[in-house]
Structure 1
Amino acid sequence: MQSIYDFSVTTLSGQVQPMADFRGQVLLIVNVASACGFTPQYADLQQLYQQYRERGLLVLGFPCNQFGGQEPGSATEIAQFCQLRFAADFPMFAKIEVNGPRAEPLFTYLKQQQAGFLRLGRIHWNFTKFLVDREGRVVGRFAPHQKVSALVAQVESLLGK
């Protein structure tokens, strides 16, 4: 049976990153964009990351230009935007697609585990959030409009005391 740890992804700087490197941590995996109505969630994601990273939370951002061309920038432009506008220092990855034949395999897996709205298995917009427990199980999926603050209780529960 496949797990999240069977995948590798590419960092924003072009390095291959095995997801197995994140074993034992709670993960919040988000498809992000810099010109989206939900872009202010970067600040909330950064705050959550800062608050809980020492307890084992990692926020992983995956830029996606698949919805309305809301992430047109290069890797360098994306990195600069995140740092200058939101001081975001959580791990960021190369721009991906989340739906269709060129979808990032990790996101195909995430959608299989948590099918979402009407169980259609599609991501409908940027800032869809997937929560993964310390054992690599995909335990939650949150729509773009759901505020990051609404995830705090579940994150704390997964992190333990």
Structure 2
Amino acid sequence: MSSNADIYECPIEDSTGNTVDFGRYRDKLLLIVNVASRCGLTDQYRDLQKLQEDYSGRGFTVVAFPCNQFNGQEPGTAKEVKEFCSITFGADFPVMGKIEVNGPGQHPLYELLTATPDDDGKSGDVEWNFEKFVIAPEGAVLRRVRPRQRLSDPEFVLWLEDHLSDRPVASE
């Protein structure tokens, strides 16, 4: 687990190009993910939306960052990506502006995130679209989940529920 207290200070834009105060997520358990609409893993949007539906009332949210760095699989604008997610998968989690997750143009948020090792102890560059990072409310990266691991995997769901166990369920 790494401590990234400045995660909430990173400059973030939403899908329309407006600056977002990322600190507004400080009280949430976040799942940050780089997404692409024309990827073999695009159906993972279903898993992301299911987690959003199941746990948003317990202080959890998915935050998606479109990225076109992997074989040009996210060619549209961030606004188009948000519309695609909403129409195709019913996604209602935040979709931010397009960013680079690796290389010389790497977004400052991903400079912090990629320092965290995965379950096998490997840190560094994002491997592909749909790499996930779970962030604690205080900004620590709790877990790095590689692209091919499904969020519907029972082991991951149990792990996530364990991290939400001390968070109250919001009344409707």
In the superposition, the TM-score normalised over structure 1's length comes to 0.93
Aligned letter for 1:64? C
Q: How far 1:120 sits from its partner (Å)? A: 4.7
* Partner amino acid, structure 1, of 2:86: Q
- 2-structure distance, mates of 1:75, 1:129: 19
The answer (yes or no) to whether the contact 1:115–1:122 under 8 Å persists in 2 is: no
* Structure 1 position 39 matched with structure 2 position 47: no
Once the 2 structures are TM-superposed, how far is the Cα of residue 6 of structure 1 from its aligned partner?
2.2
Q: Which residue of 2 aligns with 1:155?
A: 160
Identical amino acids, percent of aligned pairs: 44
SS in 1 for 2:152: helix
User: How large is the RMSD of aligned CA atoms in angstroms?
Assistant: 1.6
C-alpha change, 1:139 and 1:34, in structure 2 (3 Å) is: same
Unaligned runs of 5+ in 2: 167-172
Q: 1:85 aligns with which of 84, 88, 94?
A: 88
Aligned to 2:114, the other structure's residue is in SS state helix
> How many residues in Structure 1 have an aligned counterpart in Structure 2?
160
Partner of 1:95: 98
> Which residue is 1:61 aligned to?
64
Once the two structures are overlaid, the 10-residue window that deviates more, 74-83 or 86-95, is: 74-83
Contact 1:43/1:86 (CA < 8 Å) preserved in 2? yes
**Deviation for aligned residue 1:111:** 0.7
In structure 1, C-alpha distance between the alignment counterparts of 2:42 and 2:68, rounded to whole Å: 13
What is the alpha-carbon distance in structure 2 between the residues aligned to residue 137 and residue 2 of structure 1? Answer: 5
Deviation at 1:118, TM superposition (A): 6.3
Kept in 2, the 8 Å contact 1:28–1:130? The answer is yes
SS of alignment partner, residue 148 of structure 1: coil
Tell whether the 8 Å contact from 1:134 to 1:158 is kept in structure 2 after alignment.
Answer: no
- SS in structure 1 of the partner of residue 88 of structure 2: helix
Greater helix percent: which structure? 1
